[in-house]
Amino acid sequence: ILDNKPRALSAHQRKAVAVLARQVMKQLDLRLSLSRQAVLMSEADHRVKNSLQTLSAMVRLHARQLDDKATIDVLDSIQRRVNAMATLHGELQSSGGRDEVDAEKYLDKVAGLLQQTAPDHIKISYTADQALLRANVASSLGLIISEFAANSIKHGFPGTTPGHITIDLALRDGHFHLTCKDNGLGTRSESKQRPDSIGQTLMAAAASQLDAQVDHKLTPEGSRLSLTF
Tens of pLDDT, residue by residue over 4-27, are 666 666 777 677 777 777 777 777
How many other C-beta atoms can be found within 10 angstroms of the C-beta atom of residue 108? 15
Is there a domain that residue 45 lies in?
Answer: no
Mean pLDDT of 121-140: 92
pLDDT greater than 70 at residue 140: yes
CA dihedral 162, 190, 61, 53 (to 10 degrees): 60
Q: How many domains does the chain have?
A: 1
pLDDT for the residue 180: 97
Is there a domain that residue 28 lies in?
Answer: no
Name the DSSP letter for residue 99: S
Q: Which of 180, 214, 211 is closest to 195 using CA atoms?
A: 214
Q: Where residue 181 falls among pLDDT bands split at 50, 70, 90? A: very high
Mean pLDDT of 28-42: 63
CATH number of 211's domain: 3.30.565.10
pLDDT greater than 60 at residue 3: no
Cα distances (Å, whole numbers) of residue 167 to 95, 123, 124, 128, 143: 23, 11, 8, 8, 13
Mean pLDDT of the chain: 79
Is there a domain that residue 94 lies in?
Answer: no
Is there a domain that residue 73 lies in?
Answer: no
pLDDT greater than 90 at residue 171: yes
pLDDT greater than 90 at residue 69: no
Domain span at 127: 99-228
Mean pLDDT of 140-153: 89
Q: Which runs of E-coded beta strand occur in 28-143?
A: 100-102, 122-128, 132-134
Tens of pLDDT, residue by residue over 153-167, are 888 898 888 999 999
The answer to whether 145 and 167 have CB atoms below 8 angstroms apart is: yes
Is there a domain that residue 103 lies in?
Answer: yes
17-47 in b/e form (b: 16+ CB < 10 A) is eeeeeeeeeeeeeeeeeeeeeeeeeeeeeee
pLDDT for the residue 198: 72
Is there a domain that residue 195 lies in?
Answer: yes
Count of residues in the chain: 229
Q: How far is CA 134 from the centre of its chain?
A: 10
Residue type for position 171: L
What distance in Å separates the CA atoms of residue 28 and residue 26, rounded to the nearest whole number? 5
Is there a domain that residue 120 lies in?
Answer: yes
Q: Which residues contact 25 (CB under 8 A, 6 or more apart)?
A: none
Share of the chain above pLDDT 70, in %: 71
Is there a domain that residue 48 lies in?
Answer: no
